[in-house]
Amino acid sequence: MLIKISLISLVAISLMLTNCLTSNPAVIPTPIPVPTPTPSPTPVWVHEITHYDGDLLPEMTYAGSDKCEHNEQLSSSSICLEILDYGGVSKENRETALLAISAIASKYPNSQKEITVDWPSFGSYSGKQNYLAFVLWHDEHSDIGAITYDICVFMRVLPSVKDSCVNWASDLLNESSVTNGAMTGSAYKMHNGSISVIPNNVWEKNIETLENIIKDPSLAYDDPRRIMAHEYFHTYQSLHYVNTPQRPLDDLPSFGPMWLIEGSSEYASSRVGALESWMDWNGHVDYRINSIRDLLISNPRYQDLSHIETMTQLNEIIDIDDVLLTNTGRVLVYDLGFLAVSYAISISDHDSVIVNYWDDLSEHGPEKSFKRNVGLTLEEFYLKFEKFLNMSKVEQLSLIPLHPESSDY
């Protein structure tokens, strides 16, 4: 406000001086020679600061607070979490989101080393890429303009993408609404932090009792806590590959095959769900195996995981907009990925597949990181997994870890 007043005052003073001079033609000021300014040396490097440490971002958002308000609950993680809601979201819904994120963040925290990047866009050539906005929104009651503003004010900050940000954010919300699913935007260099978009058809769903879930394991699928934990794990993943160069859509992604991306998020969120007594692990594994076995009867080609490696392949296999609406898409992307990750853990161990693979990713790339932590190349693993899929269910269950408290689990 002070700046605006000063500018207006300066304009007013300038007009007053002009009027005074023109009303008295007898007073003609003597021109004062203006010295030619010495040109400043052209800087060798000029870089606009477009990224900020996550701790500085909350005060920029419309729906958030002025600080990382959940540091106490996320004490084991370096993430700056901000839960943003835009109308229609109850206190209970917010608490459920925080409960889910806190539970999985305590099992899979990001370290200071992982979140620190040496990007010139931070100004000091290094900064913390540690901001996570959890957007809880309602397709009827939320202010869409406020949501897109918040997304663009912190996330799409580079000049080259700023103009298109509102359209991008609107498309993100529309896709989230159409697919009835949550989505997470990764922390690439063009992004100033990460974002998870959670529509009301996710967080409004009832939380079933463990007793009911044991009777009907399919109920665990729609548990909003498990879904939000899944989305958090995508942020955990992205902070490990944020410095890796992106590859073409028809190549193996720089972060690894698509079945591994979704499969490890499903595994981690389901593991946390079992450890927190949100769901029954044994029944959950059995339910997923049944879904896969039913699908492969009519779609045997998907026994070969090499068909679910790249984004191009994924788009060819299913209509990506319907991935959460069709049973085929759900089983292929999530169930099969979950089972493949479970089998990889049975060959190696939990920490190697779910933690160390991501730790090694930036240095070694997906192919070598997988070999280091599973002991097999991707091609070798695909052959073994295909044989595993052709075993009886009893044999399959004997190989998959079934004890949440086990160190291998």
pLDDT in tens, 349-382: 999 999 999 999 989 999 999 999 999 999 999 9
What residues contact 55, with CB distance under 8 A and at least 6 apart?
67, 68, 80, 128, 130
Q: Evaluate whether 149 touches 113 at the Cβ level (below 8 Å).
A: no
pLDDT grade for 329, boundaries at 50, 70 and 90: confident
**What percentage of the chain has pLDDT greater than the value 70?**
79
Identity (one letter) of the amino acid at 177?
A: S
CA 85, 261, 210, 223 torsion-angle sign: positive
Report DSSP letters for 216-279, one per residue.
Answer: -GGGGGG-HHHHHHHHHHHHHHHHHHTTSPP--TTSPPTT--HHHHHHHHHHHHHHHHHHTTSS
* Residue at token pair 């009651």: 141
Tell me which of 248 and 326 has the higher pLDDT. 248
Name the token pair of 39: 């040109």
Give the predicted TM-score (pTM) of the model: 0.83
Question: How far apart are the C-alpha atoms of 367 and 378, rounded to whole Å?
Answer: 7
pLDDT tens digits for range 126-156: 888 889 999 999 988 888 888 888 888 777 6
Q: Does residue 78 surpass a pLDDT of 90?
A: no
Q: What is the DSSP letter of 191?
A: B
Whether 76 contacts 105, CB under 8 Å: yes
CA distances from 112 to 73, 101, 116, 131, 266 (A): 17, 18, 6, 12, 25
Radius of gyration of the chain (CA): 26
Distances (CA, A) of 75 to 32, 71, 93, 180: 65, 6, 22, 32
pLDDT band at 213 (very low <50, low <70, confident <90, very high): very high
Mean per-residue pLDDT over the chain, rounded: 80
Q: Residue 188's closest CA among 247, 252, 144?
A: 247
Which pLDDT score is estimated for 15? 31
Structure tokens at 223: 């548990």
Give yes or no for residue 21 having a pLDDT over 60.
Answer: no
Q: What is the 3-state secondary structure (H, E, C) of 83-114?
A: EEECCCCCHHHHHHHHHHHHHHHHHCCCCHHH
State the greatest distance between any 2 C-alpha atoms of the chain, in Å, as a whole number.
Answer: 107
Confidence of residue 315 (pLDDT cuts 50, 70, 90): confident
Please compute the mean of the pLDDT values over residues 292-317 and round it to a whole number: 86
- 128-to-52, 193, 194 alpha-carbon distances in Å: 7, 9, 12
Burial 269-296 (b: 16+ CB within 10 A, else e): bbbbbbbbebbbbebbbbbbbebbeebb
Q: Of all residues in the chain, what percent carry a pLDDT higher than 90?
A: 39
Question: CA–CA separation, 109 vs 105, rounded Å?
Answer: 5
